[in-house]
Amino acid sequence: MSAVGSPGTQDAKLARLAQQSRNFGFLLPHTPLLVAYGAAAESYVFSDPNTSLIKSRQFGETLAADLVRRARIRNAGTTQFERLKALDKEGFLHGNVGAAFHEVRALGNDANHGDRDNSDDAFRTLRSCFRLGVWYHRLLTGSREQIAFVPPDPARTPAARNQRLRDQVAQARKALEEARLTYQDQASKAEAEQAARAAAERELSAARAEQQDLARSIAALQEQLKQVEAAQEADYARQRRAEATDSAAASTAVAERARLLDNAEAAAREPLTEVQVRARLDQMLTEAGWQVQDIAEQNLWHQGDHRGNGVAVRETTTARGRADYALYVDRKLVGVIEAKREGADLSAAEAQADRYADHPTDAQQRMLAWRREEPLPFRYVSDGGETRFRSTLDPDSRTRRIFSFHQPRTLARWIRQADEDPQAPSYRARLRWRMPELDEHPLRPAQISAVRGVEDSVALGRGQQGMGQPRSLVQMATGAGKTFTAVTFSYRMLKHARAERVLFLVDRNNLGDQAVAEFENFITPDGARKFADLYHVQRLGAEGMKASSKVVVSTVQRLYMELTGERPTGALAEDAEGEQPYDIPGPVEVSYNPDIPPESFDLIVVDECHRSIYGKWRSVLEYFDAPIVGLTATPVAQTFGYFNGNLVSEYTYQEAVADGVNVDFSVYEIGTRITAEGGVIAQGTIPVRDRRTRRQRYEDLDEDVEYGANQVGVGVISKDQLRTVIRTFRERLFTEIFPERGKRDGSTGELLWDEMYVPKTLIFAKNDNHAEEIVEVVRDVFGKGNDFCAKITHAAKKADERLADFRNLPQLRIAVTVDMIATGTDVKPLECLLFLRDVKSWAYFEQMKGRGARTLSLTEFEKVTPGVGPKTRFVIVDAVGVTQKKKVDAAPLERHTEKQVSLEKLLRKAGAGTIEEEEVSTLAARLAKLDIQMTPEERGEIEQLTGGRPLKEIIHGMIRAVSVDDQQKVRDAAHLTGRDPEREVRALIDHAVQPLAAAPKLRARLLEMRRAKDILYDETSRDELVTAGAVVEDEAASRDVVTSWRQYIEDNRDEIAAIAIAFSADSDTPPADALRRLQNVARAIARPPRAWTPDRLWTAYEQVGEAALRGAHARRTAADLLALLRYELAGGAERGAPQPIPHEERVRERYAAWLTRQHQAGVRFSDRQRWWLDHIAAATIERVRFDTADLDYAPFAARNGTDGFLAEFGERQAEHIIDDLDRELSA
C-alpha cells in the first residue's frame, strides 16, 4: 500500500494524466496540480456538472495562489477575491483575464454551496479555465504559440439535450477549425478550410476515444491529490527559506517577478494570424505618420503632416529577397521592416532584415539610399504584438523592443544629426564620445559617483532586461541631493549628447513645483547661467506637452491622462490630499498617441521610484523608447528587480550621517492604555461630528459602545488620549527628549518656557479630521495660539503658504499633517517627528523619517530656532508603536485595502461610471447599513432626491445586478441576439447604479449622513500613561555591536594602526590626508550589513560601560571614531586602557589646560591673539588635527591668513605655538 502513494507513483500518474488531457496537459511543467484539477473538471463536465464546477474553482484558486507566490506578492490575503485584487494592483491581470478568474470563482462558489448544477455553466467555466491555463503558460514562458481548446463531446449523456450547451460546443469546434487554418502549402482558400476541418475532426475523434481513459486516470489520482498539494506546499516553503537566507536565490526571485510583469500584457492577447499581422502593421505605420503604399502605386513625393514626410512601400525587392516594407524619409531610403506571424522567431527575422538592409538591390535603390555606399541604418521587425528596432548608427548597436514605429520626422532628425557629426552620429554615440569631463566643484562625492554612474550606464546600455531600454538605479539617502544630481546629468545630456527632451516623473503633485524650481534655478557649471535661460522647463498640465519643452515634469497619473486623453475625474480624481490615486480599477493601458509618440523623450528620470514603476503603472513608462533612471532613498526588492539589479550608485542613510549630510536620530516612546487597547463610550448623550463640515450635534446612546485601538483617531476621537500623549510630550520635552535645551530658574528650578523654543515638530495624523483635533489639543496643552501650531494638509486653506511659514518662521513650532509633508517635501529645521498614526510600509516610513534627517547651516537654523547651536540630531516620538511593528518590504504604498475602501470613494466611482462589480456589492452593503441608521425624516429627504424611489429599492437593484443568476440571464440573451455578453452585463450594472450616478446631490447627502454618523467622541474615558522614555539598544545588542566592531579592527589591524599613527603630532602624513582616510573608514562601516555610525558605536560602548557618559546628545563624528580605534588598539578594558572620551570634550579640556599652563608661566595673550588660538582649537575639533594650510582659508583668511598669524605672534613664537597646540590637542 505504501508504494501506491509514493512520490514516484504520483509523478507517473500525473505524467500519464497530462498525456491524456489535451486541454491541460501542457501545464505539467509549471504546476502539476493544475493538470489534475483541469482534467478533473473536464472529465466531470457532463456527467457531474456540480463537481466539475468545484474542480474549476480549485483550478482558479491554485493558479492564482501559484502566481502570487511566483510574483512574491506580500499580504495578498487568504481568499481568492483578495488574491485577484492583489494581482490586479500589481499589474498582472490585463484584458479579460480578471473577468475569467472572477467567473470561475463565482460559479465555483455557487456550486460549492449546492446552488449550481447545470452542464452549460460547467462547460463555459471549463473553457475559462483553459483560457487561464493558456494565459499562464504564456506568462511563464513568453510563448506566442497558438493553443486551441479541444471540446469534450456531450454525446450519449443527458447533457446532450441542453440546447445552450450544444451551441457552446459547436462554437468551440468552430474555433478549433479556425485555429488549424493555414494558407501555407495550400492551393486555394477552400482547400485550406477543408484541411483545417479535417485536422480538427481528427483531434476531436482522438479526444472522444481517450475520454474514458481520462476518467479512470482522474479516479486513480483523486485519493492522492492531498499528498500532491502537500508536496507542492513543501516545495514553496523550501523556496521561501532559500530566498530568506541566500542572496542569490533572492535575486533570482526578484528577476523572475520582473520577467513575469514584462510578459503579462502580451500573455493576455491572443496571437495574431498572418493576415491580422499585416493589417496591424499598416495601422501602426499610419498612426505614426507613414504613407503605406503598394510597390505598384509608389509615390515618394507624398507630403506628410507634422509627423514628417515618410513612405512605407510594401513588398520591396532587394538583392537578398523581398522586404515586407521599405522606409523612405524625404524620398531617401533609410530602413526596412520585416513582418512575421505572431509566435514566429523574431531573432531569425532580425537577421533577415539585416540582409535586406545591407544589400539594396539596384542602382535606383542605391541612388535613393541615404548613404549610397552604406547599409540602411534603421531595421525593424514586428509580429504585430512585439516590435523590435536596431539603429546601426549606435555604437555596439543592439536590438531593443519599442511600442511602435518611429515617426518619419524622428528618423529625419536622426539622419540630420548624423550628417552634422559623422564621428558621433547618434544620441548613444554622443553619450560615449561627446561628454566632457565632469566639473566636480559644486557636487558632493556621492553626487559625483551618481552622475558618473548614470552616464556610464546609459551610454553603455547597462541594466537592459531582454530587449528593453537600459535601466539605472540611484540609491541616495534623503537630503543627499537626488534632484540636484538628476538636474546635473540631465543638463549634460541635453547640452553635450543633444538629448531631445527629458521626462522627470515625481511621486506627488506637491513635489512637481519643487522639481521645476530646482531645474529652473540650476546654475550651469560651464557658463554660470540659469538652466531656465537655456531650456524650457514645463510642468505638464491641461495645455498638453509643448514642442519647445526640453524638460517635462509630471506625475505618472498626469502623464497617463495626457497619453489617453482622460480627464482627472472619476477614478483619477484628486483625493483629499490633492493627489491622483495610484490604486485605480482595471488595467492601466495606453495606446499610440501621435502627439506624444514613444520617442518623445531621450531620458526618463523617476524620482521616488519605489512607487510609480510598479504594477499597472509600468505600462506608461514602457510606452516610451528611452532609458530610465530611478532615484530613491528607499529601494525595496521590487525596485532592484525592475532595474535588473543595475545599481549604479549607492549612498545610504548611515553613510550620509557619517558624512554629515544627514543627522542621526533617537526614538522616544509614549504609550497609553487607550492607544493600545481602545476604550468604552458610556451610554448617554455624546457629541457626534460631521466629518466634512465639522458641525457638531448630540445623540443619545442607549448602551455602552466599545471601540478598538484601530478605531482611535478614525471612527472615534478620544480627547483624553490625545491630551495624555501631547501633555506627556510637553512635560518630557526639555527633561528627557531634549534635556540639553532645558533652561531653569536659578532659585525655583522651574523650566523657563518663555526663554525656550519648542523644537520644530511635525505630527503625523490619520486623516484630516484627526489632524484638526490634534491641532486643538496642542494649542490647549501648550497654551499657545494659531501661530504656534497649524494643520498643513491639502485640505487646509493656503497649505503652501503655511508650509513656507513652517520652514521659515520662528513662531510656528508645530505642524500637523497627514501625507502632504510625508515624502519629498523639505523642512530642514525639523527636529522632532511625532507619530499618531501607524505606517505599514517600510519604504513609506523611511520617507517620513527622512523629513527630520536634513541638515542645514547654523545661520539658517538660528533664524528659526535661535540660541540652541547647530542641528545635530532629530527625535522620533512614537506614540503608536510604529517603530516596533514589523513593516512590509513592499512596493507602492496603498492607502486603502479593499476592506477599507471608503463610502466616499465608492460613491465617487459610481458617479464616474468606473465602479467595479465587487465594489457595487460593497456599496450596496454600506448603503443598507446606512438605511438602517436613518431616521424617517432622513429617508423622506432621500426619496425627494431620488424622485420618490426608496433607498431600499436602489439597493435591491444593485444586489440583483451583481447576482450570478441575473448576470447569466443577460449573457444568455446576448448570445441569442449576437451582442457582446460582457458589455450587456456591464450595462446591467450601470443601470443599477444609475440612480446614484445621475444624482450628485443624492450622493453628497448620503455621504453627509454617513459622516454625521461616523465620528463618535469619547468624553467619558480617562486615559492613563503606560510608558514614556527613550528607546535604547539593550546591553546584549550593544555588546554584539562592540564585539563585531572589535573583529572589524582585528581584520583590518594594519590599516587601522596606520590611520592612528597618521594622527600623531609627529606624523609626516598631512592632516587632510589623515582625515580623508578616517572618513573612508567611517563610510565603509556605514554601509550594509554593518550600518555603523560613530553615534551608534559610541552608544554601544556607553551601554557596556566602556565609554564616558558625557554630552549624551552631542553628535559623534569621525574624530570620536578615532578615539574608539585608539582605545581598541591599546587593548581596551582587558588591558586597562583609559576609557575613550568624546573628541570635542577632550580638545576643549586640553585647550583649557594649555591656556592655564601658559597663564601660570606668565604668558598673556591679547584678545586678537586669543581669536587665532580659539579658532585653531575649533578647527582641531572639526578636522582632528590642525593643518597649517588651513590658515589661508576661512575664517583665518579674513585676517590675512598665514601672514596675519605671523604678524600677530612673531615668526618664532608662531611656529612654537602651532607645534605646541598640535601636540597638545591632537586626538
pLDDT at residue 891, rounded to an integer: 30
Summarize the confidence of residues 666-681 as an average pLDDT.
81
Confirm whether 1001 is domain-assigned. Answer: no
Among 315-324, 564-573, 574-583, 1125-1134, name the one with the lowest average pLDDT.
574-583
Residues 282-293 have pLDDT tens digits of 999 999 999 999
Summarize the confidence of residues 621-648 as an average pLDDT.
85
333 shares its domain with 242:
no
Among 164-178, 448-462, 650-664, name the one with the lowest average pLDDT.
164-178
Tell me the pLDDT band of 789, cut-offs 50, 70 and 90.
very high
pLDDT over 80 (residue 946): yes
* DSSP 8-class letter at 440: -
Summarize the confidence of residues 637-658 as an average pLDDT.
80
Highest mean pLDDT among 329-343, 486-500, 526-540: 486-500
Tell me the pLDDT band of 577, cut-offs 50, 70 and 90.
very low
Q: What's the angle, vertex CA 201, arms to CA 200 and CA 207, rounded to 5?
A: 95
Q: Cell for 1019?
A: 468624553
Summarize the confidence of residues 783-788 as an average pLDDT.
92
SS3 content of the chain, % helix, strand, coil (to 5): 55, 10, 35
Tell me the pLDDT band of 580, cut-offs 50, 70 and 90.
low
Cα–Cα distance, 887 to 873 (Å, whole number)? 24
Neighbouring C-alpha atoms within 13 Å toward the C-beta of 347 = 2
User: Which CATH number do you get for residue 354?
Assistant: 3.90.1570.30
Residues 1037-1079 have pLDDT tens digits of 788 888 888 888 888 888 888 888 888 767 788 888 888 888 8
pLDDT over 90 (residue 49): no
pLDDT at residue 151, rounded to an integer: 82
Identify the domain boundary among 1141, 1167, 1190: 1141
493 shares its domain with 375:
no
pLDDT at residue 519, rounded to an integer: 95
CA-wise closest residue to 1007 among 909, 898, 895: 909
Q: Choose between 1089 and 415: higher pLDDT.
A: 415
Contacts of 1037 (CB under 8 A, 6+ apart): 1100
1050 shares its domain with 1096:
yes
1137 shares its domain with 1155:
no
- Cell 558625557 -> residue: 1110
483 shares its domain with 604:
yes
pLDDT over 90 (residue 455): yes
Tell me the pLDDT band of 898, cut-offs 50, 70 and 90.
very low
Residues 844-890 have pLDDT tens digits of 677 777 777 888 888 899 999 998 888 888 898 988 888 776 554 33
Cα–Cα distance, 417 to 401 (Å, whole number)? 23
Range of the domain at 1180: 1146-1225
Confirm whether 1002 is domain-assigned. Answer: no
554 shares its domain with 515:
yes
Q: How far is CA 302 from CA 310, 311, 314, 462, in A?
A: 8, 7, 15, 40
User: Which CATH number do you get for residue 629?
Assistant: 3.40.50.300
Confirm whether 1192 is domain-assigned. Answer: yes
Instruction: Please check whether residue 880 is in contact with residue 674, taking contact to mean a CB–CB distance below 8 angstroms.
Output: no
Tell me the pLDDT band of 581, cut-offs 50, 70 and 90.
low
Q: Cell for 204?
A: 476531436
pLDDT over 90 (residue 811): yes
Identify the domain boundary among 1110, 1141, 1172: 1141
Confirm whether 174 is domain-assigned. Answer: no
pLDDT over 60 (residue 186): no
Residues 135-146 have pLDDT tens digits of 999 889 888 777
pLDDT at residue 896, rounded to an integer: 30
Q: What size, in residues, is the chain?
A: 1227
Confirm whether 548 is domain-assigned. Answer: yes
Domain count, the chain: 5
613 shares its domain with 548:
yes
Cα–Cα distance, 176 to 145 (Å, whole number)? 14
Q: Please give the share of the chain, as a percent, with pLDDT higher than 70.
A: 81
φ, ψ (nearest 5 deg) of residue 290: -90, 140
Q: How far is CA 615 from CA 261, 283, 342, 584, in A?
A: 8, 28, 26, 11
Confirm whether 515 is domain-assigned. Answer: yes
278 shares its domain with 240:
no
Identify the domain boundary among 643, 658, 673: 658
- Cell 541635453 -> residue: 494
The residue type at 1171: W
Tell me the pairing of strands 536-539 and 549-554. Answer: parallel
pLDDT over 60 (residue 815): yes
Q: Choose between 245 and 73: higher pLDDT.
A: 73
pLDDT at residue 826, rounded to an integer: 74
Cα–Cα distance, 1050 to 1142 (Å, whole number)? 22
Contacts of 583 (CB under 8 A, 6+ apart): 89, 894, 895, 896
* DSSP 8-class letter at 733: I
Confirm whether 160 is domain-assigned. Answer: no
Highest mean pLDDT among 794-798, 1171-1175, 1218-1222: 1171-1175
1114 shares its domain with 1157:
no
CA-wise closest residue to 21 among 170, 216, 166: 216
Tell me the pairing of strands 321-329 and 332-339. Answer: antiparallel
Cα–Cα distance, 817 to 813 (Å, whole number)? 13
Tell me the pLDDT band of 585, cut-offs 50, 70 and 90.
low
Confirm whether 473 is domain-assigned. Answer: yes
399 shares its domain with 442:
no
Q: Give the mean pLDDT of the chain.
A: 81
Cβ density class 1115-1150: b for 16+ within 10 Å, e for less: bbbbbbbbbbbbbbbeebeeeeeeebbbbbebbbeb
pLDDT at residue 158, rounded to an integer: 65
pLDDT over 80 (residue 1114): no
1098 shares its domain with 1152:
no
Neighbouring C-alpha atoms within 13 Å toward the C-beta of 909 = 22
Highest mean pLDDT among 741-755, 776-790, 1053-1067, 1113-1127: 776-790
pLDDT over 70 (residue 1158): yes
513 shares its domain with 649:
yes
